[in-house]
Structure 1
Amino acid sequence: MSSSCSFWLHILLVVGGFFFCTFEQLEGGNAAAASAATVTVGNISRVEDAVDFRIYYGQTFKVIKNLVDGKSYLLIQNNSRMATRTKYCTARIKSFVIPLSNYSLDADYNFPVSFFERAEWIKYLGVFANMETRANQVYDAIKENYMCLMKAAASKTTSFKPTVAWMKYDNGEWSFTKDTYKLKLVEDAGGENIDNSINKYTYNTSIPDDLDEFHAILFTVDVVIDETNTSDPVGYTLSTFLQNIDFDDQSCCTFLTNQSLWRYDKRIQNNTTLDWNDGAVSQPQLVLADLIEAFFPSGNYTTSYFRNLAKEGVVSITPQMCNRDTSIAMEPTIIACN
Structure 2
Amino acid sequence: MIVIKHHQRKLNFFVCLLFLVATLIISCNNTIPQGSSACNQEYNPNIDYFPAKVSVNYATGFDVEYYKHYKVVTVKNPWRNANTGFQYVLVQCGAPVPPDFLETQVITVPVNSIVSLSTTHLPHLAKLGVVDKLIGVSDFKQINTPDVISRIKTGKITEVGRNNNVNIEQILDLNPDLITTYAVGNSQSDSYPQLVDAGLKVAINAEYMENSPLGRTEWMKFTALFFNQEEIAEKIFSEIARKYKDIAQKTQSINKRPSVFVGFNFKGTWYMPGGDSYVAKYLNDAGANYLWNDDNTSGSLPLSFEIILERAANADYWLNFSQAWQNLTDLLNADNRYGDFQAVKIGNLYNNDARLNEHQGNDYWEGGISNPDVVLADLIKIFHPELLPNHQLVYYRKLT
How high is the TM-score relative to the length of structure 2? 0.57
1:90 partnered with 2:102: yes
Specify the SS of the correspondent of 2:314: coil
CA deviation after TM superposition for structure 1 residue 103, in Å? 2.2
| CA distance in structure 1 between the aligned counterparts of 2:55 and 2:318, rounded to whole angstroms | 37
Matches within 5 A, 1:161-310: 161-178=257-274, 180-194=277-291, 202-204=303-305, 210=306, 214-228=308-322, 233=324, 236-247=326-337, 253=342, 255-298=343-386, 300-310=390-400
Contact kept? 2:73, 2:87, Cα under 8 Å: yes
Letter in 2 for 1:161: R
For residues 36 and 262 of structure 1, do their structure 2 counterparts lie closer, same or farther at Cα, with a shift above 3 Å needed? Answer: same
| CA distance in structure 2 between the aligned counterparts of 1:307 and 1:113, rounded to whole angstroms | 24
Letter in 1 for 2:56: V
Contact kept? 1:174, 1:203, Cα under 8 Å: yes
Specify the SS of the correspondent of 1:268: coil
Q: Which residue of 1 aligns with 2:75?
A: 66
| CA distance in structure 1 between the aligned counterparts of 2:385 and 2:346, rounded to whole angstroms | 11
What 5-or-longer segments of structure 2 have no aligned partner?
Answer: 1-43, 78-83, 116-178, 183-206
| CA distance in structure 2 between the aligned counterparts of 1:270 and 1:264, rounded to whole angstroms | 16
Q: Provide Cα deviations, 1:240-272, integer angstroms capped at 9, x if missing partner.
A: 22234525976x82x335432111111112332
| CA distance in structure 1 between the aligned counterparts of 2:338 and 2:221, rounded to whole angstroms | 51
For residues 173 and 61 of structure 1, do their structure 2 counterparts lie closer, same or farther at Cα, with a shift above 3 Å needed? Answer: closer
Q: Which residue of 2 aligns with 1:136?
A: 234
**Considering only aligned residues, what root-mean-square deviation do their CA atoms show, in Å?**
3.0
Q: Which has the higher contact order (CA 8 A, sep 6+)?
A: 1
Contact kept? 2:61, 2:209, Cα under 8 Å: no
Q: Which residue of 2 aligns with 1:120?
A: 218
Overall identity of the aligned pairs, in %: 22
Q: Which residue of 1 aligns with 2:51?
A: 42
For residues 201 and 288 of structure 1, do their structure 2 counterparts lie closer, same or farther at Cα, with a shift above 3 Å needed? Answer: same
CA deviation after TM superposition for structure 1 residue 51, in Å? 0.2
| CA distance in structure 1 between the aligned counterparts of 2:316 and 2:349, rounded to whole angstroms | 9
What 5-or-longer segments of structure 1 have no aligned partner?
Answer: 1-34, 205-209, 311-338
For residues 54 and 259 of structure 1, do their structure 2 counterparts lie closer, same or farther at Cα, with a shift above 3 Å needed? Answer: same
CA deviation after TM superposition for structure 1 residue 175, in Å? 4.8
Letter in 1 for 2:180: D
Specify the SS of the correspondent of 1:129: coil
The correspondence for 2:60, drawn from 47, 51, 54, is: 51
- How many aligned residue pairs are there? 257
Specify the SS of the correspondent of 2:260: strand
| CA distance in structure 2 between the aligned counterparts of 1:220 and 1:101, rounded to whole angstroms | 54
How high is the TM-score relative to the length of structure 1? 0.67
| CA distance in structure 2 between the aligned counterparts of 1:131 and 1:248, rounded to whole angstroms | 48
Specify the SS of the correspondent of 2:209: coil
Letter in 1 for 2:249: K
Contact kept? 1:87, 1:95, Cα under 8 Å: no
Specify the SS of the correspondent of 2:180: coil
Specify the SS of the correspondent of 1:153: coil
| CA distance in structure 1 between the aligned counterparts of 2:280 and 2:264, rounded to whole angstroms | 14
Matches within 5 A, 1:146-161: 146-156=244-254, 160-161=256-257
| CA distance in structure 2 between the aligned counterparts of 1:174 and 1:225, rounded to whole angstroms | 13
CA deviation after TM superposition for structure 1 residue 306, in Å? 1.1
Return the index of the structure with the highest Cα Rg. 2
The correspondence for 2:93, drawn from 55, 78, 81, is: 78
| CA distance in structure 2 between the aligned counterparts of 1:301 and 1:63, rounded to whole angstroms | 42
Letter in 1 for 2:181: A
Contact kept? 2:260, 2:316, Cα under 8 Å: yes
| CA distance in structure 1 between the aligned counterparts of 2:381 and 2:359, rounded to whole angstroms | 25
